[in-house]
Amino acid sequence: PGSTSVSPAMSDQQQPTADDLLVCDVTTGLCGTDRTETRRVTVTYVTDPICSACWVMEPAWRTVQFRYGDLLDVRHVYGGLLPSWDGFADAGNGIAGHGDVAEHWREMAEHTGQALNVSVWDADPIMSSFPPSIVLAAAREVAPDLAEVALRKVREELFVHGRNISRPQVWSAALHAAGIDPALVEAGLRDGWARDLFAADLQLARSLRVSAFPTVIVEADGDRTTLRGVQSLSRLEDVITAAAGVRPTPRTATIDEAVTFLGVGTTAEYSALTGRSAAQTELALRSAGLTARALPGGNAWTP
């Protein structure tokens, strides 16, 4: 019992491969292999670039990607949160117009600890989330490998820097930072196919019966789990690892790894990724030379 050696009496067919882990039960003394077949996991993430709840889930989402990104095929679908303010109201959150959003975002930031810039709603309020959604649908088409990065950079413009992501100069800068030529997206806007891609996203979201953002649909081998609303790291991890057929491996990043992976990030994001407390995280980030920006809910950090 407790030994991991292989008995010479085992046949070649019985010999464990390098992919097997030979384990022994300390209670029964029985030994064998603990092997699961890893599956690719498809994640459909229905979202919107101005979705504050989606931003609140970034610490968990980014950490899951750091730990299990090699198992995931992720596609973001843009579901159209705000067509316009005409007739729009969110009574549950006390929002009747764009003038009410800043206070709602501030409350979310302070409640969750995810730093969030609310200044856009006073300085240059967003009139519709459709324009940046169309841009991101086009970015996904012209540079699918960079689609996730493009969404993140657009979100940073809004939630960290407080800029109106409907403005061409803002989303162009975000795409450039993501490594995408904005001219390729501009061609889609000019020729109309970018709007068609977004229309297809809206239709897909309806067919999936999406009623809230974020909605994360996890699929593997015909099995599907739908997660609605902000999810904790543990919940996301449990669903994704179960779908992949692997055990949770809560790997934590070093500060250097986290800075390379995140770049611009909040205290909450860096803390989730490194497994440190907020105070420990901020001390380490300052020591690493990052610059802090105070926002409702906490700090945002720039290398």
pLDDT 10s digits, 131-190: 999 999 999 999 999 999 999 999 999 999 999 999 999 999 999 999 999 999 999 999
- Burial status of residue 177 (CB atoms within 10 A of its CB: 0-12, 13-18, 19 or more): middle
| Contact yes or no for 130/83 (Cβ under 8 A) | yes
Q: What is the pLDDT of residues 189-199, one digit of tens each?
A: 999 999 999 99
Instruction: Decide if pLDDT at 218 tops 80.
Output: yes
pLDDT at 19: 40
Residue 31 has pLDDT above 80, yes or no: no
78 burial level (CB within 10 Å; 0-12, 13-18, 19+) = buried
Residue 12 carries which DSSP code? Answer: T
Output the pTM of the full model: 0.87
pLDDT digits (tens, 9 = 90+) for 219-271: 999 999 999 999 999 999 999 999 999 999 889 999 999 999 999 999 999 99
One-letter amino acid at 187 equals A
pLDDT one-digit tens code per residue, 72-108: 999 999 999 999 999 887 878 888 889 999 999 999 9
| Cβ-based neighbours of 169, under 8 Å, separated by 6 or more | none
Residue 5 has pLDDT above 50, yes or no: no
Contact (Cβ atoms closer than 8 angstroms) between residue 185 and residue 139: yes
| End-to-end CA, the chain | 50
| Amino acid occupying residue 229 | G
Beta strands 41-47; 72-78: pairing state: parallel
pLDDT attached to residue 92:
81
